[in-house]
Structure 1
Amino acid sequence: MGFPGLRTASSGLLSAIKVGSRFGRRAKSQQNSSGATQALTSAGTEPEQASITELQKIISGYMPKKDVARVKEAYKFSDQAHLGQFRSSGAPYITHPIAVTEICAGWKLDADALMAALLHDVMEDQGIPKTELAEKFGTDVAELVDGLSKLDRLDFATKAQQQAESFRKMLLAMARDLRVILIKLADRLHNMRTLGAVSPEKRRRIAKETLDIYAPIANRLGLNAVYRELQDLCFEAMYPNRYSVLHKAVLAARGNRREVLTKIFDSVRAALPAAGIEADVTGREKTLWGIYRKMTDQKKSFSDVLDIYGFRVIVHTLPECYLALGILHQLYRPVPGKFKDYVAIPKLNGYQSLHTTLVGPYGTPIEFQFRTREMHNVAEQGVAAHWIYKTDDVSLSDIQKKTHSALQSLLDIQSQTGDSGEFLEHVKVDLFPDAVYVFTPNGKIISLPRGATPVDFAYSIHTDIGNHAVACKVNGEYVPLRTELSSGDTVEVITSEASRPSAHWLNFARTGRARSEIRHYLRTVRYDESVAFGKRLLTQSLHELQIDFPDNDDPTWDKLIKESGAKSREEILADIGLGKRLAAVVARRFTADHPLLETTAAHIDVVSAARAAPILIQGNEGQAVSLAPCCGPLPGDEIVAGIRVGTGLVVHTADCPVAMRAKEREPDRWIDVAWDHNHAKHFLARIDVTALNERGVLGKIAGEIAQADSNITNVTMTDDTSEAFLLSMTVQVDDRKHLAKVFRAIRRVPQVRRIARLKGNHQANAAHH
């Protein structure tokens, strides 16, 4: 259907509404360039006989004849290698590599990539050596097949650790050559399309893995057509009954709303040409998975999810995008807060489009998207749009630069993360580009995941800025580091050389990079501190046995390292500091090479005196020594300490009920400790203050605390009675005497009725006015 000045794609929306050709799940993912459409369509069903006729048609349109010949040679080799092998559906196995290659050809990948797609299973399934592939088809093809084979050999299992390790290796392969992941995505897409031939349990496992890992990667690379189709295929495999019910509901709703959609299309058909804009207008429908997620996340019924239909307006130039938007805003009333400009600020994966939601006839909300043809190609095919495998002398496109940056970010996380499970946790966050866009003080745009904080912002700029962040300004005002950022914020991070990452940052750090950098720092610092503290504990145990600390070349160290499986002497000391080994047990190992210890009365007195000497606590030992939050010990309190595996020494007050119970269970893990005369400053103490509910009381109390050289780090206020209120505060003090000084200062406020120091859920040292 054609109209003056308005070019409608294919048969137009009107006929689409009548026959439903543009509002189906499979059709939705096929709105690529003509080659991609052919590829996706031809791969959508399993061919009965192996043929590369369709593949030849696609590649002949963009590839030189010599490269077409090379691809045909790879097909012949693969066909021969897979001879006699069949898929679960009963089709010849070669139909799978052909279908995968057709998808890759739709993205216009180069000859080497298509050859690797045809050959991607020959090493794994048929044992063809890499050297033979390199000799026949070149080193590049052999490397691609080898990378894909390694991934497939590590077949994902249900165990999270195996899945995580496999994913880590896949990341490294795709970072070396992006074509690896493009072929892998095409492979997974065809497998998902033909998933009906496998058992329901395997179907669900593969679908879950695809939804968790491959669909987000497709989204991050901008392959939106693949992303949407994978989501719906996973939905169908994981929840077949829900999928069927929702599919029928959408078909029914499509019929019910045909009149509305037709009326909107007719209005757009008349308005755009009248303004001199030539455009392709197509209908679009949300994926079933997207509708299902909206229903579950927002706890809505299907009848409440109104915006399941939309229109896409594709114009020639960028100014026409904004002009078309303005015309339709005059035609229908826009919904406030529903306009998004992804042209000025593209998504992380390079996606650009204008989005707006308009209230159509009968109050139906309809989403419109406006983009140029180039933006549309990138939106549908992302990094694969107009793919040419870049060499050093050809500049990368913007989308490929963004992809390279994204992969580099993931590689940074990989380099800082030791555990593959932790790595997968970090990366999964970064694969979902639901982003906020904030500005540096110089006006540079930084993209961060939704929910990101100034800590994430700091690490996105540079690791050193993150590691030394101490405060933050958002839009010129100081805010806590845990504040969630919003699009449009201008963020400035204040740093200090004395500042270091804190473990509690992990409670609000959102990005994988920030979390991995914080954990890397804490691991490194904890190790060094644990080695030093372990040495102190071992030294004390050796002194109890009247043995000097052994030199590095003492043969007992080598025996301990060999028998324990440790890598070094420092690792043994770190294990002692972290409570994984008991210092007394390790110390006894050094008695074998010493003369028999004396048993005279004088010697026993010396040993007893050594055992009575406590470990001195300063309070600034770092990760190796922690102060128990249940009782909050301060210098001046009598203290005890227990060694907790993986944590190190935990210091409690001597009267702490938690410590008493733990000491009864494991007395061997408790040692004598005392405060060092030169202890640290700025310990945290929790106090409750009950005061009369009068104007200005809070300010008076805060002023007295400041006069006592203390600082309030946290405060909450609740009504105790109608006449009084309760202030729960955390204050910084140097020791028990300093806390007493703070108490005396607070008592000077006439309205204060009661002060109490809190130890966990127990109150102590209550002071009444």
Structure 2
Amino acid sequence: MGMTPESHVVSEPPPGSAASPDDRAAQTAEHAVMVQRAFDQFFRALAYLKEADRERVAAAYAFARRAHEGQYRNSGEPYITHPIAVAELCAHWHLDAPALIAALMHDAMEDCGVNKQDIAKDFGADVAELVDGLTKLEKLQFHSREENQAQSFRKMLLAMAKDVRVILIKLADRTHNMRTLSSAPRSKWSRISRETLEIYVPIADRLGLNATFRELQELAFSHLYPWRYETLSKAVARVKGRRRTMSERIQAEVGRAFSTFQMKVQLIEREQSLYKIYRQMIDKQLSFAKVSDIFGLQIICEKVIDCYTGIGVLHQTYRPAPGTFKDFIANPKPNGYQSLHTDMVGPSGVDVQAEIRTEIMHVVAETGIAAHWLYQSGGLDGMLADNLNGRWLKSLLEIENDTDDASEFLNDVKVDLHPDTSVYVFTPKNQILTLPKGSTVVDFAYAIHSNVGDHIAAAQVNGVPVSLRTVLKNSDTVEILTAEDARPHPGWLEFVKTGRARSKIRSQLKNADQRETVELGERLLIQALRVAGYGDIPADSTLAETIWTHLAVLHHGSTREQILQDIGHGRLIAGELVAQLGQLLQQAGLKPDALVLSRQRLTGGSQPAAVLAVGGADSAPVRYGHCCRPVPGDAITGYLVSGRGLEVHRSECLVAQKRYGKNPSIMLPVEWAEEPVSEFETTILLHLRNAKGALAEASVVIAQSEVNILRIDMPEEGRLETIEIRMNVLVRNLEHLEALLKNLRRARAVLRASRFMAEAAS
């Protein structure tokens, strides 16, 4: 199955149903009444639609009922009651007729054999597209449940990005399935609940559907951890009496304060959900008593100016907690949420958390993007266009365009679905950008434009130069400096926070890797041609065109670029390819040059033109062996490994020698570029005294040697007199590494310092 939990459909009534004709007739009549009652309740909720639209919805109901005839849920109810319930939830958001029709038919294509053309013919292309976007990918074959899930989720999100009604119907579907999950086999509870918490809850939050967000959290919590849920429920019930007294006192005092200023407000007690209480206890290591002492109050004002006046009224009533005031009216959250927040110390030291907003803001806070339909005739549309996550929905399409792999797409979007909180930062022109907490300068650059991110060279925060991995804070002003020759670096993937930045960086690196692999393949082919006695063949010559035409035939229609990529990745051996070409070249009148051949024999085939440079700005793309981690200055050997391309090892690396032997077809002569760029990772082995401060002393020496530590591996046992520590560090070259080891050997805490190289397994 895909992303949607099974609606527990069976083609016959579930076990235990009556078997006699009279009982079956009675059950059928009972089901008919049940279905009619459900539809009547749903239809009453459609008073906001025009008569013609209500008739279309009624026709869709008749179609869906026929399609699901004879199907039942595990609860024993006729299956049609599920689509009706989903459509009723959508009606509470005042969705239009096509969305309601799609809600009634959302399982028809999947479970009943109805095709898209049938739906388009009877109810229009708009409805057919919505239903198609809601349908899982069960007809396709995937290697695993995870791949199926990723592909289904990808399809759903892309449909959602094009038409947000898809996800609103999907959330209604998930809500009703979670409400009835208890009738499903218990073995499915955990998987479906985790999926709900990981994906659907944060989507509801992202779209501002606060009521749906809270309900899905509670339902998932109750089925994922039934015992914990029950225990917390009983604990909350026990303190409700005491809270009621305190609630009445706080509301009375706040109400009197606003009456004094002749302000009309509506006071609503905001109860904490059980899941939020549970997460606070886990994440902040708080006791239940501490969490349950927090009192939440929502204050609904008539005008925006009243909200700001109301903060003053509250702060005169109760003492505010320093640093807790937040203005989400001037700076709305990405999902369109607007309110003023403040924390205060109430009676008997109780924490009082207050949210102040207008009536329209309150509707948006509860229904988010669905407020677009609730207020179609009001003045909400302009605000929604800017605030209700249109930017996030568009970013989904950009991430999809940059990501070929469905699992990568799912992971990138999950990052954006779980922003703990947001930070608000400014451009030099005082435009505000909202980013997830933990976002860096690079995330900011990509949020402005992909071109800015791709060419970022430096940055300033509040006028001070900073590194690209700097984490941004609220109110930072960020200026990005770009350069035409600047390119994304693989290391950025380790610290960027947003899915947009991650997908853009990965896409650029992939394109760059493809270009470099083609260039490497071309170098290797030219080298193989020279070894075989042929000189350079002009790329625009008739002969070159003939050669590539025949190569394409030999390799199943592959293009020139694909063949060069295969050579660069080691899937094709350039020498073998040239051997295949030999006869063709001779037929074309091109024979090996005796002078070139004699030069190859005299030099052993290792003249400078045949040697590949690595480690430089314009060098061939390579992977450095993790077993020996070579650095500039080391004697090195290259191996063309199938599927991995050019792999470089130290010449004395026993692991590489055993793994690849001395196969001349994959061994390549390589040397370090004249001017190696950046720094290179290598591994050192330290033996330290098992004494307090030994590691700190070694770390100071490493820092003073201008070396960065990337990773430290330490043993778990701590009773030995000496400790063996393995460190991955960044150095410029062999000279820099030897200077580091020399400095470490002088340290009092260091008994031995050496370079690490893995041994070949016997």
Shift of 1:298: 2.3
What percentage of residue pairs aligned between the two structures are identical?
A: 43
Equivalent in 595, 617, 622 of residue 620 of structure 1? 617
Cα pair 1:120 1:148 within 8 Å, conserved: yes
Q: Give 1:373's aligned residue.
A: 359
Q: Give 2:561's aligned residue.
A: 570
CA distance in 2, matches of 1:360, 1:47: 53
Cα pair 2:53 2:97 within 8 Å, conserved: yes
CA distance in 2, matches of 1:195, 1:687: 53
CA distance in 2, matches of 1:418, 1:378: 35
Shift of 1:389: 10
Summarize the Cα distance change of 1:154–1:736 in structure 2 as closer, same or farther, 3 Å threshold.
closer
Q: Give 1:611's aligned residue.
A: 605
Equivalent in 315, 321, 328 of residue 342 of structure 1? 328
Q: Are positions 1:499 and 2:486 aligned together? A: yes
For the residue of structure 1 that corresponds to 2:331, the secondary structure is coil
Q: Give 2:657's aligned residue.
A: 663
Cα pair 1:295 1:301 within 8 Å, conserved: yes
Deviations 1:603-661 (A, max 9, x none): 79845745334523152235713566865533x65332334555533445545xxx343
TM-score by length of 2: 0.79
CA distance in 2, matches of 1:171, 1:301: 39
For the residue of structure 2 that corresponds to 1:641, the secondary structure is strand
Shift of 1:577: 1.9
- Matched to 1:557, the amino acid is L
Cα pair 2:629 2:682 within 8 Å, conserved: no
Q: Compare 541-550 and 87-96 and name the one that shifted more.
A: 541-550
Q: Give 1:680's aligned residue.
A: 675
CA distance in 1, matches of 2:96, 2:520: 58
Cα pair 2:520 2:620 within 8 Å, conserved: no
Summarize the Cα distance change of 1:340–1:622 in structure 2 as closer, same or farther, 3 Å threshold.
farther
Q: Give 1:252's aligned residue.
A: 238
Superposition CA RMSD, Å: 3.8
Q: Give 1:641's aligned residue.
A: 638
Q: Compare 180-189 and 360-369 and name the one that shifted more.
A: 360-369
Give the unaligned 5+ runs of structure 1: 1-45, 689-716, 755-759, 765-769
Shift of 1:366: 2.3
Equivalent in 183, 190, 194 of residue 176 of structure 2? 190
For the residue of structure 1 that corresponds to 2:617, the secondary structure is coil
Equivalent in 537, 546, 570 of residue 553 of structure 1? 546
Shift of 1:447: 0.8
Summarize the Cα distance change of 1:126–1:476 in structure 2 as closer, same or farther, 3 Å threshold.
same
Q: Compare 617-626 and 404-413 and name the one that shifted more.
A: 617-626
For the residue of structure 1 that corresponds to 2:458, the secondary structure is strand
For the residue of structure 2 that corresponds to 1:89, the secondary structure is coil
Shift of 1:385: 1.0
Q: Compare 110-119 and 47-56 and name the one that shifted more.
A: 47-56
CA distance in 1, matches of 2:552, 2:247: 80
Q: Give 2:401's aligned residue.
A: 415
For the residue of structure 1 that corresponds to 2:344, the secondary structure is strand
Deviations 1:285-318 (A, max 9, x none): 2222222222222233323424554111111111
Deviations 1:183-211 (A, max 9, x none): 11111111111111111222222222222
Cα pair 2:679 2:731 within 8 Å, conserved: yes
Written as runs of structure 1 = structure 2, the 5 A alignment for 1:473-512 is 473-512=460-499
Cα pair 1:351 1:379 within 8 Å, conserved: yes
Shift of 1:395: 9.6
Cα pair 2:629 2:681 within 8 Å, conserved: no
Summarize the Cα distance change of 1:210–1:103 in structure 2 as closer, same or farther, 3 Å threshold.
same
Summarize the Cα distance change of 1:265–1:67 in structure 2 as closer, same or farther, 3 Å threshold.
same
Q: Give 1:39's aligned residue.
A: none
Q: Give 1:242's aligned residue.
A: 228
Cα pair 1:530 1:624 within 8 Å, conserved: yes
Cα pair 1:454 1:485 within 8 Å, conserved: yes
Summarize the Cα distance change of 1:615–1:725 in structure 2 as closer, same or farther, 3 Å threshold.
closer
Shift of 1:406: 1.6
- Matched to 1:762, the amino acid is R
Written as runs of structure 1 = structure 2, the 5 A alignment for 1:716-755 is 719=697, 727-730=704-707
Q: Give 2:721's aligned residue.
A: none
Shift of 1:170: 0.9
Shift of 1:343: 0.9
Q: Give 1:399's aligned residue.
A: 384
Summarize the Cα distance change of 1:136–1:260 in structure 2 as closer, same or farther, 3 Å threshold.
same
Equivalent in 247, 269, 274 of residue 255 of structure 2? 269
For the residue of structure 2 that corresponds to 1:73, the secondary structure is helix
Cα pair 1:440 1:491 within 8 Å, conserved: yes
Cα pair 2:640 2:647 within 8 Å, conserved: yes
Written as runs of structure 1 = structure 2, the 5 A alignment for 1:241-320 is 241-306=227-292, 308-320=294-306
Cα pair 2:372 2:381 within 8 Å, conserved: no
CA distance in 2, matches of 1:378, 1:721: 53
Shift of 1:444: 0.3
Q: Give 1:131's aligned residue.
A: 117
Cα pair 1:663 1:670 within 8 Å, conserved: no
CA distance in 2, matches of 1:197, 1:435: 39
Q: Give 1:697's aligned residue.
A: none
For the residue of structure 2 that corresponds to 1:356, the secondary structure is strand
CA distance in 2, matches of 1:573, 1:382: 52
TM-score by length of 1: 0.78
Q: Are positions 1:111 and 2:111 aligned together? A: no
Cα pair 2:158 2:396 within 8 Å, conserved: no
Q: Give 1:454's aligned residue.
A: 441
Cα pair 1:154 1:166 within 8 Å, conserved: no
Cα pair 2:427 2:479 within 8 Å, conserved: yes
Summarize the Cα distance change of 1:734–1:300 in structure 2 as closer, same or farther, 3 Å threshold.
closer
Cα pair 2:534 2:596 within 8 Å, conserved: no
Q: Compare 233-242 and 69-78 and name the one that shifted more.
A: 69-78
- Matched to 2:107, the amino acid is D
Summarize the Cα distance change of 1:559–1:321 in structure 2 as closer, same or farther, 3 Å threshold.
same
For the residue of structure 2 that corresponds to 1:546, the secondary structure is coil
Deviations 1:320-345 (A, max 9, x none): 11222221112112222322211110
Summarize the Cα distance change of 1:541–1:663 in structure 2 as closer, same or farther, 3 Å threshold.
farther
CA distance in 1, matches of 2:120, 2:290: 58
- Matched to 1:729, the amino acid is E
Give the unaligned 5+ runs of structure 2: 1-31, 538-542, 684-694, 709-729, 748-752, 758-762
Cα pair 2:613 2:620 within 8 Å, conserved: no
Summarize the Cα distance change of 1:542–1:761 in structure 2 as closer, same or farther, 3 Å threshold.
farther
Shift of 1:136: 2.8
CA distance in 2, matches of 1:202, 1:416: 34
Shift of 1:426: 1.0
CA distance in 1, matches of 2:320, 2:285: 25
For the residue of structure 2 that corresponds to 1:611, the secondary structure is coil
For the residue of structure 1 that corresponds to 2:435, the secondary structure is strand
Written as runs of structure 1 = structure 2, the 5 A alignment for 1:131-170 is 131-149=117-135, 159-170=145-156
Deviations 1:561-618 (A, max 9, x none): 22xxx843322322332344443444444346567999x9997984574533452315
Shift of 1:547: 5.0
- Matched to 1:220, the amino acid is R
- Matched to 1:63, the amino acid is L
CA distance in 2, matches of 1:538, 1:626: 20
Summarize the Cα distance change of 1:444–1:644 in structure 2 as closer, same or farther, 3 Å threshold.
farther
Shift of 1:277: 1.5
Q: Are positions 1:387 and 2:382 aligned together? A: no
- Matched to 1:451, the amino acid is G
Shift of 1:427: 0.9
Shift of 1:480: 0.9
Cα pair 2:423 2:473 within 8 Å, conserved: yes
